[in-house]
Amino acid sequence: MKIQKKFSDCVLEFNGWLSNTSLELFDNYSISNPFNDKNKEQIKEITTMFYKKYYNDNNKRYLILGSSPARRGTAITGIPFEDANHLYKETGIMIDNFYINKSSSNFLYDVMENYGGCKKFYSDFFMNFVCPLGIVNINSKGNEVNSNYYENKKLENALYNFIVESLEKQISFGIDTSVCFCIGSGENFKFLTKINEQYHFFDKIIALEHPRFIMQYNSKDRNKYLDKYKNALNNRNYQNE
């Protein structure tokens, strides 16, 4: 009798696959990969502790997908959308040189609390990215800046096969494909919809505004967006407006 893998083991194996993924881009673009950089042993320790705590079961979960990791955020920690201070509380490990938009992370933690807390949230959802590795670009001033896979058509095409393969692997963890939640109601949602029309990964994709967009430009409507997240995650039959 075949023993079903724990969800945590599937995630950690996926991270191992990412650690062996080599993507050569073009011009001033490059990949930021926390799973094979100088801190990879620390990242492995953090991710193992985190996923064994919240995902050590065989629950079917829904995917929540952002666009791609920030170079000084998830692209350093290896855990999507997690705040460094929260990870320190979870694992006891302090991550150096880590930055995250506090208002954005606080919004997501409020989403989790409204859902019933981190344990309940993570038992039902797995958060990651359409492109699970970070993308950086050297700008005209010689500084590294975050980039998104949809920044231009050439970059999108260069990452297309990698994105498809990574989505296929994540779905194999034990994902409920009746609905996928997309963080980013603009280009990320547009691309994910397009790729879903070709591969039919999900029955439905629900767009949710990015926390950064909410907190930077619509903070006065914060509670409205919290309710939108809550309704979408709880009801599963929420329709895009």
Using alpha carbons, select from 169, 203, 170, 209 the residue that is nearest to residue 189: 209
Within 10 angstroms of residue 82's Cβ, the number of other Cβ atoms is: 23
Using alpha carbons, select from 65, 72, 58 the residue that is nearest to residue 123: 58
pLDDT the model gives residue 101: 46
The number of distinct structural domains making up the chain is: 1
Residue 16 belongs to domain spanning:
7-235
Average pLDDT over residues 135-162: 91
Beta-bridge partner residues of 146: 136
Whether 2 maps to a domain, the answer reads: no
Structure confidence by residue, pLDDT tens digits, 199-241: 999 999 999 999 888 888 888 999 999 999 999 999 865 444 4
**CATH number of 84's domain:** 3.40.470.10
pTM over 0.85? The answer is yes
Whether 19 maps to a domain, the answer reads: yes
Whether 1 maps to a domain, the answer reads: no
Whether 175 maps to a domain, the answer reads: yes
Whether 53 maps to a domain, the answer reads: yes
Task: Please say if the pLDDT value at position 74 is more than 80.
Answer: no
- DSSP E strand stretches across the chain: 29-32, 62-66, 125-129, 134-138, 144-147, 180-183, 205-208
Average pLDDT over residues 74-93: 71
